[in-house]
């Protein structure tokens, strides 16, 4: 059970619902971190994930432009700066993908939906967009 520091039942329910959604606790990421993924799994990951890596800087740039000055905007600008600094995350990722023999495949329907959802979030507003990445 999750112990909440909030007195608000809605915030407690939200914290409990999100507990299993932490990206680094996903079984795939745990196996990646443990170094037990097969070469085939790494290739498949690289071929799919490159589309996310290519989309993220554009999303962060658009989000940053929509935020008011302050700590949240500064944080998103810092993420963007880190993502595009030379060599960029995409450059690193492509080097990783090539090292495993990943090929340039067309974007999968699932990844197309994921990267498209960032545009949808941007249209809904900066608050909703912050929940995206």
Q: Residue 65 is part of which domain span?
A: 39-130
pLDDT at 59 over 80: yes
The rounded distance, in Å, linking the Cα atoms of 75 and 39 is 35
Query: For residues 63 and 25, which has the higher predicted lDDT (pLDDT)?
Result: 63
Shared domain check, 83 and 22? no
Q: What is the pLDDT of residue 10?
A: 61
Shared domain check, 126 and 77? yes
pLDDT digits (tens, 9 = 90+) for 6-18: 566 666 665 665 5
Shared domain check, 105 and 45? yes
As given in the structure block, the two tokens for residue 115 are 């990267």
Query: For residues 75 and 131, which has the higher predicted lDDT (pLDDT)?
Result: 75
**Domain total for the chain?**
2
pLDDT digits (tens, 9 = 90+) for 67-114: 999 888 999 999 999 999 999 999 999 999 999 899 999 999 999 999
Shared domain check, 2 and 52? no
Shared domain check, 43 and 28? no
In the chain, % of residues over pLDDT 70? 81
DSSP 8-state class, residue 97: H
Burial class, 7, CB count within 10 angstroms (exposed 0-12 / middle 13-18 / buried 19+) = exposed
Q: What is the pLDDT of residue 2?
A: 44
Rounded to an integer, the average pLDDT of 16-44 is 83
Shared domain check, 52 and 23? no
Shared domain check, 33 and 64? no
DSSP 8-state class, residue 92: H
Shared domain check, 114 and 57? yes
């Amino acid at each position: 059970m999750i112990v909440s520091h909030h007195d608000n039942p809605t915030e407690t329910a939200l914290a409990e619902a999100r507990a299993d959604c932490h990206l680094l606790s996903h079984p795939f990421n745990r196996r990646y971190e443990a170094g037990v993924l097969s070469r085939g799994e790494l290739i498949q990951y690289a071929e799919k994930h490159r589309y996310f890596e290519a989309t993220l800087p554009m999303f962060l740039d658009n989000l940053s432009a929509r935020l008011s000055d302050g700590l949240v905007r500064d944080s998103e600008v810092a993420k963007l700066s880190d993502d595009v600094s030379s060599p960029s995350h995409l450059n690193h990722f492509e080097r990783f993908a090539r090292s495993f023999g990943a090929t340039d495949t067309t974007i999968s329907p699932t990844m197309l939906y994921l990267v498209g959802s960032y545009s949808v979030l941007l249209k809904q507003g900066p608050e909703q967009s912050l929940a995206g990445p």
